[in-house]
Structure 1
Amino acid sequence: MPTQEEYQEGLDNLARHHWEVDLVITHTCSTSTVTSLKEALGTPVEADELSDYLEHIQQRLTYRSWYFGHFHHDLLLPKNLRLIYHDVEKIGRD
């Protein structure tokens, strides 16, 4: 898990960029997304401190796409979220 200093550094970096980025790549996802995945995957996944932190970010952040892979599945989700495991995707502007 990140330290409190690392959590703060992430928030500070996003604030410096006015909470706007093209792409987010994280290991796991926000708490609300974890809740959606429980139903979609039918597996027992639980929110934690890191998913709560990412929830705070997701609520404020403007982003084009958000990729994460912790749950070892491939799934396209609402809000331009992408759970990725085996799939390969081109990232960038066309």
Structure 2
Amino acid sequence: MISKYTFQTINNIVGWIISVSLIGLGLFHLFVHKISLNGSNFIILWSLIGLSRLSNIIDAKFFENNFSLKNNWHSVFGVVTSIIFIIAGFLL
């Protein structure tokens, strides 16, 4: 069984990787593609946003012990919105 400290460390590392990827993708599109997002990059962008929000939910649920929809509605809404945009990106 994985310990709480190890799980928190893994979650923090994954959160940093996601954040750096989002910043890198944003800068790449700002300077190289001039803000044009095609289908695959749109899906990657919303996947990273959804994973970032999911990391926030995991933090609140397991490490801060204050998870409720009232306190974390923005993260739950972000995950649901990301899923909707990812499905729309695949369908379009």
> Structure 1-normalised TM-score?
0.27
Structure number with the higher helix fraction is 2
The structure number with the bigger radius of gyration is: 2
> Structure 2-normalised TM-score?
0.27
Q: Which has the higher contact order (CA 8 A, sep 6+)?
A: 2
